[in-house]
Structure 1
């Protein structure tokens, strides 16, 4: 398997358009009557959108920001951007003023595409409120969430009436070294990082992924994760294109919609965070039909894995990946159960993993150390911060993930902790430092530390430990979340519990001992559970 020279995903998509044009490419379950687009229909819509982008003066390499829910419109726009050699910069629909402003300023996008409304939130007032801070912004397109049928939609004005001549579009088409995505990850220093991949690196990831897991054009890929997140973007949408399969998409999490995706529309494969697995497994009449569930974000608990395997009648394995490196380790369905569950799998062929001490020396099996990787699917830089990119690599070319881990004698990986200060809430990384910086501005807060607390469904949730200023006797969770919401922080980043303490546990040098706080909240939760 030559990952370095993997066939490009755009070539694979176009091959299916030529050889099987009437095959369903997209099944969009976000409307009452699902929208189904064939490969030919999807390709034609992408050409019309690409034509409009060219007319707007979008240039090769230029980042274009869009904050759309999972939908056929998201997919058409993304394909169109690749057909003009522009760089897709998708934003999660849950982000609000603070995060959107930062990403727009950082990416320099001249375009912003939003829905008129999604999940009872109106986007136009938000865009109006931040326009003054976005000097590069030239065009705002608003897509109706009421006119959704492709035959009636103009995608907010982003569909040209006809496509440009084939030779015009061919001249603008992306190549192996063109940027393929700009995704922002939650920063641990208070600033999100803009991760840039190119078409070749994502194609290498796709070849490794689909070959290792035995995916073929007969597989229907279920995509419950947001397309603006790498899990949905790469392991959902692009996997389906790479194998010439069908993608089955849902924009809002619902077990009933999940059952429809699996039982009515034949979804056989999914890669998603553990909450999705837990919810369908523990639902009434769990759906049957999945062949393989790759659970990422945390090692799969043995009890949940056994329960899922029995009730869903499918294989359940764990895996480890990141926006920067894509999927690097994964379990195989025929692995022994004691290895499959409770680990993050083993390395994919063509990639390397190791555990090293703080001096960079490789460590023997069974010892905890710094988790480092080498893969052809590695990102190429952090936008505006190539120095950050270079700092993540060792002299011999391994990327330090920032995680602590153990690799056992059989090569199975287990993530044991993080050097980076983040909370992993259902696969979504919560920017701890950014939350703390905001909470320090609260008039009642003298000191604050946000730490992870264990959660059976999501893996982790955020808990804020607070020391109050003199004169303040109390501070409740609603006051904290109202404060963060008023400052434009997305709800998904808000702490979900608050603990008031007299003083922070600190080292001799003054650093907060967050492990003490994590142990404290873990013990409190265990006591509360046993008392209930």
Structure 2
């Protein structure tokens, strides 16, 4: 099945000779996602693949139901290679819809339910999707009505599929589609689809400084191999049970949760939202072995003593972005820092690795064929041993080019094909093995609980406010999310400063996703500048961090004195 059977214009594919090498050394697997699920379903038919409070599903059920939905999508007139925007939550229905697309060759554009006109509009214009999957019961927002509006504004959309709610006239109910075809008929339809292992599996999204969505193609052969290598690296696999409470459409969710479940027989417990006490209860109930915190989960755990009332002894490993030492001390279970980027690198440590490595570094790649270097930020020369440099990598799963983005691709790589992450790291050689620690970012973005916010994009929207003459957005520290956005504003003469609710209302009316809105505003007469006259954002970050630290200290002092 190796090969590209449904080539997509605008996708940068791997050079054939390099792809052949990856297959030969086992860095890629010559298998499609659908083949992997079918094989696991034959081997472990009655084992639970996915568990949730409302519904659980075995491997056989997931395989058969996704067959039926996949064939129903093809009978609508969708073809392999067609794109489908996804705005769905962390549910069994989302996993089922993704599996159906992966089997039929339809390429999910993995958006988020929080995206609004700006983000969906740019993604639709870039990827020209024909289908749109939405979940009707995500939060209080009318996701279905919003999707209908987007379908009118972007004529490439031909089919709107609604899960977990009523499907209005002119749309398709996902459950009705599944029920519209028998398993035998579905398998006959799918027998006519021959996907290659080098075909595109999904379109994942990268955060960036400009806010313009950059689409990252991921492929069957490399994605399956990447997830399987990671599972081996952290001692997961068939006998592991992982709990996942973050967006299921994320690249991270695929690599830690969905793909290892499909390809290796891991069981994954899904939580539609972060609920720390419920998470502890589920870990105890299902004897969870692996847990992941990207963003606010770990800090919330450490702020909730009630989780210690539950039996967490089944946990072999708890991952977090930072502060693994604090998490391990609190929970009493092995914890490890990790680092990942949708462009194709994932580093971390397994439970048997020394505590110093798990806590003071972010680990190493789970793929022995990844090449990692630290370069000077303004050229391609390596930094001296022990010095901080820009993390650059290439390997079996690394990006070879953003989809339909020649300008971005022109600056994203070194002259010899290493992807430049914009993240600063330090190398540590311990017992002859090189590990890496994250030391900060070179590029101008904010990481709010794992969601990347491009500062330039938000600044452009802030500057549209009638009271704002100029605006800058910087990261400020936050105990739960790691970072939040703080807007420094210069006001127009005679205008009053907007408060946070007013600014959020304004930005939302402009179509900006709410999670990108600033959560603090600082009014200034001028922005600090460097000696050469450039806006000094590091200075702004220091200013707001010192202000928050002083406020926290004052609050603590007042609490102690009973003021």
Q: State TM-score, norm by structure 1.
A: 0.92
Contact 2:375/2:381 (8 A) holds in 1 = yes
The 1:304–1:274 alpha-carbon spacing in structure 2 relative to 1, beyond 3 Å, is farther
SS in structure 2 opposite 1:409? strand
Aligned twin of 1:150: none
Aligned twin of 2:207: 186
Q: Give the counterpart of 1:422 among 445, 450, 467.
A: 445
Aligned twin of 2:561: none
Q: CA deviation at 1:379?
A: 2.9
Q: Give the counterpart of 2:121 among 64, 85, 101.
A: 101
Aligned twin of 2:161: 141
Aligned partners of 1:495, 1:390: CA distance in 2, in Å? 31
* 1:54-133 → structure 2 map (5 Å cutoff): 54-133=74-153
Contact 1:73/1:155 (8 A) holds in 2 = no
Q: CA deviation at 1:185?
A: 2.3
Contact 1:223/1:237 (8 A) holds in 2 = no
Q: Give the counterpart of 1:294 among 314, 319, 332.
A: 319
Q: Give the counterpart of 1:206 among 227, 238, 241.
A: 227
The 1:237–1:251 alpha-carbon spacing in structure 2 relative to 1, beyond 3 Å, is same
Aligned partners of 2:200, 2:528: CA distance in 1, in Å? 45
Q: CA deviation at 1:422?
A: 0.6
Q: How many equivalent pairs are there?
A: 516
Contact 1:69/1:227 (8 A) holds in 2 = yes
* 1:16-55 → structure 2 map (5 Å cutoff): 16-29=40-53, 31=54, 35-55=55-75
Q: CA deviation at 1:247?
A: 1.4
Aligned partners of 1:6, 1:204: CA distance in 2, in Å? 6
Q: Give the counterpart of 2:372 among 353, 356, 359.
A: 353
Q: Give the counterpart of 2:518 among 495, 502, 517.
A: 495
Contact 1:66/1:90 (8 A) holds in 2 = yes
SS in structure 2 opposite 1:118? coil
Contact 2:109/2:202 (8 A) holds in 1 = yes
* 1:164-313 → structure 2 map (5 Å cutoff): 164=185, 166-283=187-304, 284-286=306-308, 287=310, 288=312, 289-296=314-321, 299-300=322-323, 302-308=325-331, 310=332
Aligned partners of 1:481, 1:96: CA distance in 2, in Å? 13
Aligned twin of 1:323: 342
Q: Give the counterpart of 1:337 among 343, 355, 359.
A: 355
Q: CA deviation at 1:39?
A: 0.7
SS in structure 2 opposite 1:113? strand
Contact 1:3/1:207 (8 A) holds in 2 = no
Aligned partners of 1:373, 1:191: CA distance in 2, in Å? 23
Contact 1:3/1:208 (8 A) holds in 2 = no
Give the aligned CA root-mean-square deviation in angstroms: 2.2
The 1:425–1:342 alpha-carbon spacing in structure 2 relative to 1, beyond 3 Å, is farther
Contact 2:324/2:337 (8 A) holds in 1 = no
CA displacement, residues 449-507 of structure 1 (integer Å, 9 cap, x when unaligned): 10001112211111111111111242321221111111121111111111111101123
Contact 2:244/2:269 (8 A) holds in 1 = yes
Q: CA deviation at 1:441?
A: 0.5
Q: CA deviation at 1:154?
A: 4.9
SS in structure 2 opposite 1:530? helix
Aligned twin of 2:384: 364
Q: Give the counterpart of 1:405 among 425, 434, 441.
A: 425
Q: State TM-score, norm by structure 2.
A: 0.87
Moved over 4 A (4+): none
Aligned partners of 1:145, 1:266: CA distance in 2, in Å? 32
Aligned twin of 2:39: 15
Aligned partners of 1:81, 1:181: CA distance in 2, in Å? 9
Aligned twin of 1:528: 551
CA displacement, residues 88-133 of structure 1 (integer Å, 9 cap, x when unaligned): 2222112222222222222211111212232111113212333332
SS in structure 2 opposite 1:74? helix
After the TM superposition, which of the residue ranges 114-123 and 453-462 deviates more from structure 2? 114-123
Contact 2:48/2:58 (8 A) holds in 1 = yes
Aligned twin of 1:395: 415
CA displacement, residues 333-392 of structure 1 (integer Å, 9 cap, x when unaligned): 233333321421123332222211232112222111211112211134312114523532
Contact 1:354/1:407 (8 A) holds in 2 = no
Aligned partners of 2:448, 2:73: CA distance in 1, in Å? 36
SS in structure 2 opposite 1:270? strand
Q: Which runs of 5+ in 1 are unaligned?
A: 148-152
